[in-house]
Structure 1
Amino acid sequence: MAVPNAASDAAFTGARVRADRLSLKGPHGWVYRDVSLTAVPGSLTVVEGAAGSGRTSLLLTLAGRMKPTGGTLAVDGKTARRPIQRLAALGLLTEVNPFDEGLSVREHLNERLAYRRRRDLARTAFSHAGLDLSDLPEGDRTLARRLTRDQAVRLGIALALLDEPHLLVVDDADQGLPELPRRRLWRTLHELAGEGLTVVATCTDARDAAWAADTVVTLGVSEEER
């Protein structure tokens, strides 16, 4: 179990997440069903599941962006969606909040900072996300379409951290990444949790994340089988 740093040293204040038999049923059947998990502040929870198992929908539910049809969810004791939304931030979810491929990294950043007073958050956010702008082809002028998958995921994390969230959700953490970048990304998420943030990330295969995760939840497996 990850142990967050002392309150005076922690970079983030994590949320406690408790889902009990959370379910979502759509017009074509169950999207996900009877998912239970508890994530404490400063922990990394990995949700593993095949394509079509409801991974993305579960993340959106945990972050207050989608309403479940069954079960209960509390994030720091909040059960209504709007208060949960204020606590949770979304990393890159390709089908939900894709980057504008014609905009640069700087333009995406400025867009997110437009209504924030603390513009100094950007440097810290990029550092925590493990994204060095000097490694990009044209620095912060690099267009989103020129980013590698690893860089895009890390940019999504950095932009999410600008919201100063208590809960960060990251989708498809292992998608399109070779083994080494995949392991490095899990290390970054593990380190964010170590700084006090509550992190929930999805993947298709959790074997590379086992060392980093405090909890692994496999979708499509009943609670009794876990």
Structure 2
Amino acid sequence: MTSEPTGGRPAGGLAVEARGLSVRGPRGWVFRDVDLEVPAGGLAAVAGAAGSGRTCLLLALGGRMKPAAGTVLLGGRRRGPDEMRRRTALGVMAGVNELDPALTVREHVSEALDLRAGPLSRWRGREARIRRALERVDLDVAPRTLAADLAPEQAVLLGAALALVGEPDLLLLDDVDESLPVERQRELWRRLHALAGSGVTIVAACHDAAPAEGLAQVVPLARAREEALR
């Protein structure tokens, strides 16, 4: 399933659809009865307060957390957890795959390339591939910049670059508006919108989706959390 994004470029990625998706933890429902439908090459903003289940929703969409109820379709089909994990990728997620503050941008990308490249091609065209990975997400920083020195939106984009090395169909990004003023949130959503148009479906979690209006489909989680607590 494909669509045509603004600018006439064919979209890549896979459509993602969830119906009645629910996750339950030891203390009860984390979220409940969430519906979403994002076309191939689309961008969705999952919005909710802390504790509303945003991160768990991303993990469930990526086959990394088992739902208690509901279904997830990728490309219009139900897929097993292994295939879901192969076809999706996580950006930076606290407690899961955080950036190493002592490593540079180049070292992070180089390490991601090592995990994907065969032994014979590991060093072939390395610098060009690092440059392309950063250009794809429009991350304009010196490769020797330490992860600890990145601005919050730059860290989000670096996480996206690392995830995209594996050419996933669905990119899942968490807390994209953390510590950002509204005007910088809006600029980040513009970049994510352009990135989706480059050939990947994106679902990004945030506290407030207002800066994403007109750029992303909004999926509120507040109501799901309220229902879960009843």
TM-score tier by shorter-chain length is 0.7 to 0.9
CA distances 1:83-141 after superposition (whole Å, capped 9, x unpaired): 011111111112221111122212211211113337554323211212112xxxxx222
2:192 pairs with 1:216 = no
| Distance in 2, Cα, partners of 1:179 & 1:5 | 24
2:162 pairs with 1:159 = yes
The Cα of 1:80 is off from its aligned counterpart by 1.1
Are the counterparts in 1 of residues 21 and 70 from structure 2 also a CA contact under 8 Å?
Answer: yes
CA distances 1:167-220 after superposition (whole Å, capped 9, x unpaired): 11111111111222211110011112223321101111111101101x211113
- The 1:72–1:88 alpha-carbon spacing in structure 2 relative to 1, beyond 3 Å, is same
Stretch of structure 1 that moved more, 74-83 or 15-24: 74-83
Map of 2:28 onto structure 1: 29
Map of 2:136 onto structure 1: 128
Secondary structure of the 1:19 match is strand
Are the counterparts in 2 of residues 91 and 157 from structure 1 also a CA contact under 8 Å?
Answer: yes
Flag structure 1 segments of 5+ consecutive residues without an equivalent: 134-138
2:103 pairs with 1:97 = no
| Distance in 2, Cα, partners of 1:125 & 1:105 | 11
* One-letter code aligned to 2:47: E
Are the counterparts in 2 of residues 65 and 85 from structure 1 also a CA contact under 8 Å?
Answer: yes
The Cα of 1:157 is off from its aligned counterpart by 1.0
| Distance in 1, Cα, partners of 2:177 & 2:129 | 27
Q: Which runs of structure 2 are paired with 1:161-200 in the superposition (5 Å)?
A: 161-200=164-203
| Distance in 2, Cα, partners of 1:110 & 1:69 | 38
The Cα of 1:5 is off from its aligned counterpart by 6.8
Secondary structure of the 2:116 match is coil
Stretch of structure 1 that moved more, 63-72 or 192-201: 192-201
- The 1:71–1:202 alpha-carbon spacing in structure 2 relative to 1, beyond 3 Å, is same
Kindly report structure 1 stretches of 4+ aligned residues shifted beyond 6 Å: none
Flag structure 2 segments of 5+ consecutive residues without an equivalent: none
Stretch of structure 1 that moved more, 27-36 or 94-103: 94-103
The Cα of 1:78 is off from its aligned counterpart by 3.8
* Residues paired across the two proteins, number: 214
CA distances 1:25-62 after superposition (whole Å, capped 9, x unpaired): 00101111111111110111111100000000101111
Secondary structure of the 2:94 match is coil
Secondary structure of the 1:18 match is strand
* One-letter code aligned to 2:64: R
Query: Percent identity over the alignment?
Result: 48
| Distance in 1, Cα, partners of 2:198 & 2:105 | 25
CA distances 1:131-177 after superposition (whole Å, capped 9, x unpaired): 112xxxxx222221121112111111111111111111111111111
Secondary structure of the 1:115 match is helix
